[in-house]
Amino acid sequence: MPLGTPLASLSPSDYTLASCGSNGGPPATRLANLSDFKKCPIEKDTGLREIWFMFDDEVSYTYRALRDKGRALVYDQNTMYDHPVLSSFLVDGNGDIRGYRIITDPREDNASRASAFLTSEQMKAIAGHADATVCTSIPMAAGQDMVDGDFVNQECRENSPTRMVAITTHLFRKPGQVAVDPVTGLRTTDAFESSARLEFYDPRYSGK
């Protein structure tokens, strides 16, 4: 979707459940249609309005009902690298798309979520590798730990007059998260952070 595309040109049957976004959280105010974008607040950091949506995945749900997991996954448009993601547009005051936000869905089942951090590679491809993009690996902080011997805490940023890009990749245990429960002695299944996040927008525009 080229930047500058008007929301009004999008098919409401393809971009469903339009709502105000919450910067990675659940959808907020539900919108009757995309033209209601001004009901969403202007973000302090980007200066734009976030419009949360889902791609129409009726075909995928049909195959799920038929217990055909393979085809259901192929036709699931709300995924990246086979991981469910939360998607949203960042729009200006005219309702034109000026950026995107894509975040791996933390509600994914734990067995699959372990590799969710790998979607950052596709996010880097979407944003493009400009010379100004700098990736920094952040050292392990107190209380953090590896997940099965791996630790990833990376931030990639690009700041230019026309592009603001931030890609964050996490794979680690947070303070208090352990591989083995000290009380039961059983291995934990959900005590880890594995995620990827892309924020990409043109800073020359405003949501006003």
Helical (H) or strand (E) element with 197: strand 193-201
Instruction: Name every residue whose Cβ is closer than 8 Å to that of residue 47 and which is 6 or more positions away in sequence.
Output: 203, 205, 206, 207, 208
Quickly count: other Cβ atoms within 10 Å of residue 53's Cβ.
23
pLDDT tens track, the chain, 208 positions: 899 999 999 988 888 889 999 998 889 999 999 999 999 999 999 999 999 998 765 544 454 555 656 544 544 567 888 899 999 999 999 999 999 999 999 988 888 899 999 999 999 988 886 555 789 999 999 999 999 999 999 999 999 999 999 999 999 999 999 988 888 888 888 999 999 999 999 999 999 9
C-alpha to C-alpha distance for 32 and 10, rounded to whole angstroms: 14
C-alpha count within 13 angstroms, C-beta hemisphere, residue 174: 7
